[in-house]
Amino acid sequence: MAKGLDVGTMNILSGRQEGAETVFVQQRNSFVEIEYSDMAEQMLSRSEVLHIRKDDKVYVVGDDALNFANIFNKETRRPMQHGILSSEEASAIPMIKLITEQVVGEPSKPNERLFYSSPADPIDSPLTTLYHEKTLESMLGDMGYDPEPINEGMAVIYSELADNNFTGLGISFGAGMTNVCLAYYAVPVMKFSIARGGDWVDEQTAQATGTPVDKVTSIKEDDFELDFRTDVGGVEGALAIYYENLLDYVIENITREVDEEDVEEGLDVPVVVTGGTSSPNGFEDLFADHLADANIPFSISGVRSAEEPMYSVASGALVAARSEEGEEESAGGSEPAAEEAAPESED
């Protein structure tokens, strides 16, 4: 058994294979602080709300955090910011550990193989991902897993482009970052991230409209469409403006980062977009329209969205984990056969 884990700024998701089906488990990567009382903690426990108590505070964690934030008119807090562990949140590591434990569960066997997503270093920010990656590796190892990081953009390629020999451009539009990977027969030709994603869209929209960020997030996740028919003065109109700006920024950086010498002449590849930020209806068409006008040194055969954008990275991490687990089992299975054959050759 092997597992894949998508450690995202907004959500943490795991994927595992059960028979012919892939089972996903998801929790929102956030928490909210409320005042402690015996009654409050009893009600939370009875309602099976994920929470922990620390001194005179109770922290509601995961999916319920956003609901509690809206009820008590508070902002949720995040263990991660800009795609990596937040340096400004003192509770980041214990909170993300609690959420991850709920999502991934206990290993089915000692040192179960687990691939977890890790972003590339952003090209437009001094942030580095090394501390984030190594901290997660240590945390997952302590939980009993044998963890291995996988580039988030490459996970998209594994998940969505098997029918094209793992060749194409995979783009994961996450909350904290956008990850880009161009691969040729499963070999990355280009991979990078930019420090803008769904959070940037929400923050800019909140600032422009005077709306709390969590409220903007709720509106975006509730049937928001990129149809540009909404009033410009409202939250949905502002969301559309900043979504379009984000796409132009991503395409601008792809054009800048592609090295023509590394691209095979006449290369014609599909583009697949995924991640929670790519979920609104109309995203795929809008991105295709803007990409068509870009000066990119390879041809685009088409743009499509992942069938399940939220689960794509976890699914790709699972594909990589199962593939490596299978190779290890095959290698391990060949050794006894060689040992059994040796005595015969000596006789």
Q: Using one digit for the tens of pLDDT, what is the confidence trace for 173-215?
A: 999 999 999 999 999 989 999 999 999 999 999 999 999 888 8
Distances from the Cα of 87 to the Cα of 27, 48, 185, 234, 277, angstroms: 21, 30, 37, 33, 23
pLDDT of 340 > 70? The answer is: no
Q: Looking at residue 260, what is its pLDDT?
A: 64
Taking the C-alpha atoms of residue 78 and residue 92, their distance in angstroms, rounded to an integer, is 7
Return the higher-pLDDT residue of 139 and 221: 139
Q: Note if the pTM is more than 0.75.
A: yes
Strands 187-194 and 299-305: unpaired
Q: Using one digit for the tens of pLDDT, what is the confidence trace for 94-145?
A: 899 989 998 999 999 999 999 999 999 999 999 999 999 999 999 999 999 9
Q: Looking at residue 332, what is its pLDDT?
A: 60
Taking the C-alpha atoms of residue 292 and residue 302, their distance in angstroms, rounded to an integer, is 10
Q: Looking at residue 32, what is its pLDDT?
A: 86
The pLDDT of 214-229, averaged and rounded, is 86
Taking the C-alpha atoms of residue 178 and residue 197, their distance in angstroms, rounded to an integer, is 5
- Domains assigned to the chain: 3-28+80-323 (3.30.420.40), 30-77 (no CATH)
Tokens 């000066």 identify what position? 295
| Weakest-pLDDT range from 68-82, 145-159, 161-175 | 68-82
pLDDT of 342 > 80? The answer is: no
Residues facing 60 on adjacent strands: 32, 51
Taking the C-alpha atoms of residue 10 and residue 211, their distance in angstroms, rounded to an integer, is 19
Q: Looking at residue 208, what is its pLDDT?
A: 95
Percent of the chain with pLDDT over 90: 60
pLDDT of 231 > 80? The answer is: no
Q: Looking at residue 296, what is its pLDDT?
A: 85
- Which token pair is 242? 């900043």
* Helix ranges (DSSP H) in the chain: 38-46, 63-71, 92-104, 130-142, 152-160, 198-209, 213-221, 235-257, 283-292, 312-346
